[in-house]
Chains A and B, each alone.
Chain A
Amino acid sequence: EDKVVQSPLSLVVHEGDTVTLNCSYEVTNFRSLLWYKQEKKAPTFLFMLTSSGIEKKSGRLSSILDKKELSSILNITATQTGDSAIYLCAQGGFTSGTYKYIFGTGTRLKVLA
């Protein structure tokens, strides 16, 4: 069974800290790795990664994929209280003949003022 695992499960930091969130996957028909931020309702899309070693960046957030290690990291620098959320990664690809997204366990980030 395909599995997407994130670590740590939860994290508490202070404003200004830098955090690194991890996502590992074990899938046979990989196409993409997605990162989302979820606060109260629907997840908000952050990044889609398909190529290994190419960093994607948006403001204080950046992410990179390592296909050799079957993993990805999401970095947040100079964290702010508004970064408090659940961060989800998801693997996109064909599983049992259907293209779908399998979500990881999530990392709950709390940033203290």
Chain B
Amino acid sequence: GAVVSQHPSRVICKSGTSVKIECRSLDFQATTMFWYRQFPKQSLMLMATSNEGSKATYEQGVEKDKFLINHASLTLSTLTVTSAHPEDSSFYICSVPDRVNSNQPQHFGDGTRLSIL
């Protein structure tokens, strides 16, 4: 079964709306989670590393105030796209690293396809 649950799977909303995406680790506690963004026909780009109980670590060029990350528990991280605009339309996907299982170094959620009109 799924190890990581990500919701919602699809969001279509108007420009200016804030959108929250949840990423839940179902099978084990996750002190760290990753948030990626993938534009059409491009690769996954790491946006930020979410750290339980502390501030997220953002990659260069990713706006902290635009993409709010909260990791308040060992099983849940949320990404909020604030005041979303059409250029924020993308596929957002989270993952939970697994340092123990060499057969599956990170478990991905199913992703969220965000479309801003």
B109 and A42 contacting across the interface, CB-CB below 8 Å? yes
Please state if B46 and A45 are interface contacts (CB–CB under 8 Å).
no
- A96 / chain B contacts, CB cutoff of 8 Å: 57
Q: How far is the CA of A86 from the CA of B38 in the complex (A)?
A: 12
A90 to B93, CA, bound (A): 15
Classify chain B's interface size.
Answer: 20 to 34
Q: Which of B33-63 contact A (CB under 8 A)?
A: 34, 36, 41-46, 49, 57, 60
Q: In the bound complex, what is the Cα–Cα distance between A90 and B43 (angstroms)?
A: 10
Interface of A, secondary structure class, is strand
Q: Least Cβ distance of B110 to chain A in Å?
A: 5
Within the complex, what minimum Cβ distance (angstroms) separates A51 from chain B? Answer: 12
Given A100-B46, A105-B43, do A42 and B34 touch, yes or no (CB 8 Å)?
no
Q: Is B8 an interface residue (CB 8 A)?
A: no
Instruction: Report whether B105 and A92 are in contact in the complex, using a CB–CB cutoff of 8 Å.
Output: yes
Question: Is A48 touching B97 in the complex (CB atoms < 8 A)?
Answer: no
CB pair B43–A1 under 8 Å, yes or no, is no
**Which bracket fits the contact residues of A?**
20 to 34
Point out the residue from A34, A41, A86, A108 that lies within 8 Å of B105, measured CB to CB.
A34
A residues less than 8 Å from B36 (CB atoms): 103
CA distance A45 to B4 in the complex (A): 14
Given A48, A92, A106, which contacts B42 in the complex, CB threshold below 8 Å?
A: A106
Is there contact, CB below 8 Å, between B43 and A99?
no
Cβ of A28 under 8 Å from chain B:
no
Chain A residues with CB below 8 A from B57, complex form: 96, 98
Contact B43 A106 (CB under 8 A): yes
From A41, A88, A99, B111 is in contact (CB under 8 Å) with: A41
Quick check: B44 and A32 within 8 Å, CB to CB? no
Which residues of B have CB within 8 Å of A100? 34, 46, 49
Is A101 close to B, CB under 8 A?
yes
Contact status B105-A103, CB under 8 Å = no
Chain B residue nearest in CB terms to A88: B43
Can you report 7 residue pairs joining A to B where beta carbons are below 8 Å apart?
Answer: A43-B108, A48-B102, A88-B44, A101-B97, A101-B106, A105-B42, A108-B41
The answer to whether B60 touches A101 (Cβ under 8 A) is no
Cβ-closest 10 pairs across A and B: A42-B108, A106-B43, A103-B44, A103-B43, A41-B110, A41-B111, A105-B43, A98-B49, A98-B57, A42-B110
